[in-house]
Chains A and B, each alone.
Chain A
Amino acid sequence: MVKRLALQALAIATFIALWWVAAAYASSQLLPTPGQTLREFIHILSSSKGWESIGNTAFRVLAGTLIGLLAGTLLAITTRYSSLAEVAVRSVIYPLLQSVPSICWALMLVIWFGLSQTAPILVIAVAVAPFFIINIWEGLKELDMSLVEMAGTYTRSRLKILGKVIMPMLYSYIFAAVKSSFMVAWKVVILAEVLGAVSGIGYMLWISYQVYNIDRVFAWTMISAIIIIAFDYGIFNYIDRRFMRKWKPRELKPS
């Protein structure tokens, strides 16, 4: 464990050293040094405008992921109960969501909704919905039908069976989708903000680029990366250990 941490620290230090060397040879117009980036980084984090932008973007990521989660989950589950929905989702909606590049969705949504909160949020929702659809399909395929049958001997209400038996079996699949969609959401939102927002990290990046403040572009890039890493390693791992264990299928003790 200690050895691992030391190696990780060494890897990061090497990266920074290489960056330093490269920056020393390149023009500061092309590549700022780690020191310059750090200075700008601290500058951003000590301004209320900086935190406001991070907050704006985080809100969009959250709202967009939530909408994508609800829409994707609903779409995937209806395919279990209606053959019409099955055809619609499998042969139209899912391929469409999956194959149209995010940048195209972003352009279209900005055209439809203008420079507003709506466009970036919907771009995220559209980008992450397929993760939920595909993960829940996987979950439904692995569904323990013997439990569903057992529940069916106590009620005829499909809704009750869905809520009490089927959905809990899907939680770990939904969580896996949240995890993988989060990174995509974060990348997509910045793109969408560059195109169609007047606040947020993407917008700040765009402004920094417009005035050719390369230090600031780098600092914002670093902030984005740190947020994604923090979520993936810290928060999701914690949720996984603390809450998700219970919902995972488990080997039973032999009788």
Chain B
Amino acid sequence: METTGTEALVVKDLRKGFGPLGVLGGISFAVGRGELVCILGPSGCGKTTLLRIAAGLIPFDSGTVLINGDDIRKNRDCLKNVSVVFQEPRLLPWRSARQNVYLSLELRKDGRDGRDLEAVDGALALVGLSEFSSSYPHELSGGMRQRVSLARAIVTEPEILLMDEPLTGLDLRNREELQDEILRIWSQKKVTLVLVTHDPAEAIHMADRIIVLSERPAHIKGIINVSIPRPRPRDSCAVREMENTIRGLFGEDGEHENPRR
């Protein structure tokens, strides 16, 4: 693959197995700065593994992962530009929303900065939770908890935001609301966003490009440019056509789950 060195994230011939089980069978793609890329694939295909590798959370067998041109195996400091939003919010139950958002700054920075708390409040406002800053996780709904975790990820001003099925646990209304909210934050913060999902509708609604993965061991089935202008309608001919294209990539056996239908 041609890379010009300006890409935020480059993955080259990435392979990973757990024991005899092949999970990633040679994956290559690049994500440009400020781009929103969705990685779409059936459950258990290894897309989460792919994201976790890019986040530096698990080792891989062969290949290269570059963040801003730096190899994450050689220079782990480049991961400082990356924040991760997990499928579950992973909030500390003994901390309020505000303190939970503050955690990432506390962990990432060496010293205290008077403006840190301002940044925390700004991040909470950005996800629409200013009024709930002193609430504890058990007092918040699932969608709100995921918003707190989103605020925690963006308060460190990452260049790259990696999201691992962040909306899977939520109901449809919450999911669509948060999709638009993530889009708004993405365009406002001008971050590079890589979002893993198994929901084609979600990918079509959000992505500049969709990387479609196959069943395990995952390889890239296709990369689809989504050129529908934003804000995108939830249900239009263009969207339906694209869904059919994606379904076509998986064959018509209906193996692929689609929670929107």
Known: A155-B108, A164-B103, A164-B107. A147 touches B90 (CB 8 A): yes
In the complex, chain B residues whose CB is within 8 Å of the CB of A234:
none
Determine which of A149, A151, A251 lies in contact with B107 in the assembled complex, contact meaning CB atoms within 8 Å: A151
Measured CA separation A247–B106 after assembly (Å): 19
Contact of B137 with A252 in the complex, beta carbons under 8 Å: yes
* Shortest CB distance A158–B (Å): 11
In the complex, chain A residues whose CB is within 8 Å of the CB of B5:
none
Contact of B104 with A154 in the complex, beta carbons under 8 Å: yes
In the complex, chain B residues whose CB is within 8 Å of the CB of A149:
57, 90
Contact of A255 with B92 in the complex, beta carbons under 8 Å: no
Measured CA separation A255–B143 after assembly (Å): 7
Known: A247-B94, A253-B140, A255-B142. A164 touches B106 (CB 8 A): yes
In this complex, the member of B107, B143, B145 whose beta carbon has the largest number of chain A beta carbons within 10 angstroms is: B107
Closest to A151 in B: B107
Interface string of A126-162 (1 = CB under 8 A from B): 0000000000000000000011011111111100110
Known: A146-B90, A164-B106, A255-B170. A153 touches B55 (CB 8 A): yes
* Shortest CB distance B101–A (Å): 12
* Shortest CB distance A133–B (Å): 23
In the complex, chain B residues whose CB is within 8 Å of the CB of A246:
94
Residues of B within 8 Å of A, CB-based: how many?
32
Contact of B88 with A146 in the complex, beta carbons under 8 Å: yes
Contact of A249 with B93 in the complex, beta carbons under 8 Å: yes
Known: A253-B141, A255-B169. A155 touches B107 (CB 8 A): yes
Measured CA separation A155–B77 after assembly (Å): 10
Contact of A153 with B57 in the complex, beta carbons under 8 Å: yes
* Shortest CB distance A144–B (Å): 8
* Shortest CB distance B8–A (Å): 17
The verdict on A63 contacting chain B, using a C-beta distance below 8 Å, is no
Contact of B138 with A250 in the complex, beta carbons under 8 Å: yes
Measured CA separation A200–B90 after assembly (Å): 50
Residues of A within 8 Å of B, CB-based: how many?
25
In the complex, chain A residues whose CB is within 8 Å of the CB of B93:
249-250, 252
Known: A155-B108, A251-B138, A252-B137. A165 touches B92 (CB 8 A): yes
In the complex, chain B residues whose CB is within 8 Å of the CB of A157:
107
In the complex, chain B residues whose CB is within 8 Å of the CB of A154:
83, 103-104, 107-108, 156
The verdict on B84 contacting chain A, using a C-beta distance below 8 Å, is yes
Determine which of B82, B88, B174 lies in contact with A153 in the assembled complex, contact meaning CB atoms within 8 Å: B82
Q: Which residues of chain A (220-251) have a CB below 8 Å from chain B?
A: 246-247, 249-251
* Shortest CB distance A148–B (Å): 10
Contact of A160 with B94 in the complex, beta carbons under 8 Å: no
In the complex, chain A residues whose CB is within 8 Å of the CB of B145:
252, 255
Q: Which residues of chain B (206-256) have a CB below 8 Å from chain A?
A: none
In the complex, chain A residues whose CB is within 8 Å of the CB of B79:
153
With A147-B92, A168-B92 given, name 14 new contacts (CB 8 A).
A146-B88, A146-B90, A149-B90, A150-B84, A151-B103, A151-B107, A153-B82, A160-B107, A164-B106, A164-B107, A249-B93, A251-B138, A253-B139, A255-B171
B interface residues (Cβ-Cβ under 8 A, vs A): 55-57, 76, 79, 82-84, 86, 88, 90, 92-94, 103-104, 106-108, 137-143, 145, 156, 169-171, 174
27 contacts between A and B (CB under 8 A): A147-B90, A151-B103, A151-B107, A153-B57, A153-B83, A153-B84, A154-B83, A154-B103, A154-B108, A155-B108, A160-B106, A161-B107, A165-B92, A168-B92, A246-B94, A249-B93, A250-B93, A251-B138, A252-B93, A252-B137, A252-B145, A253-B138, A253-B140, A253-B142, A255-B145, A255-B169, A255-B174
A interface residues (Cβ-Cβ under 8 A, vs B): 146-147, 149-157, 160-161, 164-165, 168, 246-247, 249-255
